[in-house]
């Protein structure tokens, strides 16, 4: 039955199992450890001879429901919930990279993902090459005999470049690589990379999946074989697992994901069109616009353009910062997918781990701003932008 459900139904019903009390809302199992009936049962569970819960770092009923739900939404065989989006990125990479291996990733990624790759992985003898994933030739040229993983975000944080998942999956399979895609900006309701042949999909569940700005969490979707390593080796030993309470909050947030995402996209499309026509905005990055190079993938790879917009002001760095400070309604904050509209300056905030040269190569200019379009009245959002732009010299 669940296989035939539409995604709007799955976000509410998929992954649910009956509970002893008959509670409609998933019970919160706020327990660190679980009691065995006998010592023999405990030994059997640790040995893997008997199914059952042992310790919440190894599994928890509330967390398990969240994992079943996201796997159903992404179309994967299994999933793991983590303590943060970066824990999801780290676990997916550490499960597939060892000393002497090579990673190929897109040259523009979230700032902390960039820092993980260029500052942390290299400490353990893992090579990293960052390239433009819009260029098939450049991707293929970066692959070496020791390349093991290919990684990207699409759309890209912060400037919303869109990459062809069918092409990336084909390259990975041709070279026997593990493909990893960060699907945070789209969610499985707008894009399902696994259906395009991607091996591992990760999310910062902090964003749209939770949707209320009160949780830090991550999710990983992959095959059962991948998950055995990710969950029961990497996450078990590193310990970057989600708390049951946070898993419960995300389960609550997911129930309204379809409704929220529809409003986010509706608002973003109107805001992007407004910004594209404004004389003080030199460029708008939003896949929902026909002018965006990735717009042709809507309808095949993506269902809609999402709720995040990046744009460049016809202004200096100082003027861009002044614009942010004067802007009403928007909260100056990183993150995205909250009910509130947010604005941030990538070069000095989310992507500050990049050097100036690295930012230029990745296309992150000093006058680039990123907004997460919220659920407010779109007329009020546009009016706030209109008032702010009027004061830009």
Q: List active site positions.
A: 57, 110, 182, 207
What letter does residue 55 receive in the DSSP assignment? B
**What does the block give as tokens for 222?**
């992959």
As a whole number of angstroms, the distance between CA 81 and CA 206 comes to 11
> Taking the mean position of all CA atoms in its chain, how far away is CA 79?
14
Token pair 């429901």 in the structure block, residue: 65
Question: From residue 282, how far is each of 65, 107, 162, 315, 326 by CA, in Å?
Answer: 46, 23, 20, 9, 19
Under 8 Å CB-to-CB from 179, ≥6 apart: which residues?
149, 150, 151, 168, 169, 172, 197, 198, 199, 200
CA-based nearest residue to 155, from 126, 133, 127: 133
Provide Rg for the chain, Cα atoms.
Answer: 21
Q: Coil, strand, or helix at residue 321? A: helix
Q: Are 379 and 138 in contact (CB under 8 A)?
A: no
Question: From residue 75, how far is each of 2, 165, 227, 302 by CA, in Å?
Answer: 11, 15, 14, 15
As a whole number of angstroms, the distance between CA 247 and CA 67 comes to 9
Sheet holding 178-182, edge to edge: 78-82, 218-222, 200-204, 178-182, 147-153, 102-106, 127-131
Q: Are 207 and 25 in contact (CB under 8 A)?
A: no
The helix-helix angle for 61-74 and 244-254 (nearest 10°) equals 40
Q: What are phi and psi of 153, to 5 degrees?
A: -105, 145
CA angle 98, 101, 104 (to 5 degrees): 120
Q: Are 11 and 257 in contact (CB under 8 A)?
A: yes
CA-based nearest residue to 148, from 94, 101, 111, 215: 101
């Amino acid at each position: 039955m669940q296989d035939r459900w539409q995604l709007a139904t799955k976000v509410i019903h998929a992954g649910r199992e009956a509970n002893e009390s008959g509670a409609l809302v998933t019970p919160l199992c706020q327990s660190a450890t679980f009691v065995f009936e006998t010592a023999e049962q405990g030994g059997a569970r640790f040995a893997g001879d008997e199914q059952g819960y042992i310790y919440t770092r190894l599994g928890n009923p509330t967390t398990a429901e969240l994992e079943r739900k996201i796997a159903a939404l992404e179309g994967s065989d299994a999933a793991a919930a983590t303590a943060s989006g970066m824990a999801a990125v780290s676990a997916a990479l550490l499960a597939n990279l060892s000393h002497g291996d090579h990673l190929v990733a897109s040259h523009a990624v979230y700032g902390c993902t960039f820092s993980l790759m260029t500052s942390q992985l290299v400490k353990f003898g893992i090579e990293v090459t960052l390239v433009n994933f819009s260029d098939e030739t450049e991707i293929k040229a970066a692959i070496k005999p020791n390349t093991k993983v290919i990684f990207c975000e699409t759309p890209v944080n912060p400037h919303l470049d869109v990459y062809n998942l069918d092409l990336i999956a084909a390259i990975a399979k041709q070279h026997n690589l593990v493909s990893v895609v960060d699907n945070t900006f789209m969610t499985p309701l707008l894009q399902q990379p696994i259906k395009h042949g991607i091996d591992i999909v990760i999310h910062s569940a902090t964003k749209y999946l939770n949707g209320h700005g009160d949780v830090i969490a991550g999710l990983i979707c992959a095959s059962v074989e991948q998950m055995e390593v990710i969950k029961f080796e990497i996450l078990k030993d590193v310990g970057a697992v989600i708390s049951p309470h946070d898993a419960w909050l995300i389960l609550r947030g997911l129930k309204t994901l379809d409704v929220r995402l529809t409003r986010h996209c509706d608002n973003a499309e109107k805001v992007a069109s407004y910004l594209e026509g404004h004389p003080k905005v030199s460029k708008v990055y939003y896949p929902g616009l026909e002018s965006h190079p990735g717009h042709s993938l809507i309808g095949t790879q993506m269902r809609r353009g999402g709720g995040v917009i990046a744009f460049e002001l016809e202004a200096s760095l100082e003027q861009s910062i002044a614009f942010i400070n004067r802007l009403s309604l928007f909260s100056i904050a990183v993150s995205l997918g909250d009910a509130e509209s947010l604005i941030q300056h990538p070069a000095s905030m989310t992507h500050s781990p990049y050097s100036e040269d690295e930012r230029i190569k990745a296309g992150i200019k000093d006058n680039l701003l990123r907004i997460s379009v919220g659920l407010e009245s779109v007329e009020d959002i546009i009016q706030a932008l209109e008032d702010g732009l009027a004061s830009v010299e």
